[in-house]
Amino acid sequence: GENVEQHPSTLSVQEGDSAVIKCTYSDSASNYFPWYKQELGKGPQLIIDIRSNVGEKKDQRIAVTLNKTAKHFSLHITETQPEDSAVYFCAESGGTSYGKLTFGQGTILTVHP
Amino acid sequence: GAGVSQTPSNKVTEKGKYVELRCDPISGHTALYWYRQSLGQGPEFLIYFQGTGAADDSGLPNDRFFAVRPEGSVSTLKIQRTERGDSAVYLCASSPSPGEYEQYFGPGTRLTVT
């Protein structure tokens, strides 16, 4: 079945540094790749997404890149702030998993002031 | 506008009991999804509805789990004969339609089976 591997499991950075989280997927037919931010006690919040016909997408300090040949995609956060501290999840959909999202295991990001 | 809402926010029940968890999707969203999230893990798909019908229930772990969406809006996830292993956060999400992909999550219901 579908599988998404996410690394690292924890990431600690200083305020102002960049953070990068990487995911790989197995289903070559997947065509939608969202990233979610989850704070303690809350539901996942969609922060950015990318479709398979695009290689990179930016939204202010957040960017996502997609390499369909290698089947991996990454989240880049620049100029990190303490409020970026949360758990981040990558996910994929489309192909054989149309409609449903398959999530990675999550990355705990801590931004130290 | 209002986001996805879920009730109750917390539910504690005894092993063997029956529970119902409710989800109110974003108004106008035709697709509704249920996921389950165990501690330290990503959400895992359970079932999704397009309108009133279950389009994919392949994630339901066994026949103790059942979900309905009779009028194409509110959905209820029903768990019979609860087990301690059912303890998790149950998340609901909605999207304008399955083809539009973006899913917006509610805050979840934390279920604890004692």
To which residue do tokens 């798909």 refer?
Answer: B45
Q: Rounded to a whole number, what is the distance in Å from the CA of B108 to chain A's nearest CA?
A: 6
Query: Is residue A21 less than 8 Å (CB to CB) from chain B?
Result: no
Q: Tell me which chain A residue has its CA closest to the CA of residue B100.
A: A99
State residue A87's pLDDT score. Answer: 98
* 3-state secondary structure labels for all residues of chain A: CCCEEEECCEEEEECCCCEEEEEEECCCCCCEEEEEEECCCCCCEEEEEEECCCCEEEECCEEEEEECCCCEEEEEECCCCHHHCEEEEEEEEECCEEEEEEECCCEEEEEEC
To which residue do tokens 């103790």 refer?
Answer: B64
- One pLDDT digit (tens) per residue for chain A, 113 residues: 578 999 999 999 999 999 999 999 998 888 899 999 999 999 999 999 998 887 999 999 999 999 999 999 999 999 999 999 999 999 999 876 667 899 999 999 999 99
Write the residue in A32, A34, A104 that is nearest to B42 by C-beta: A104
Contacts of B88 in chain A (CB under 8 A): none
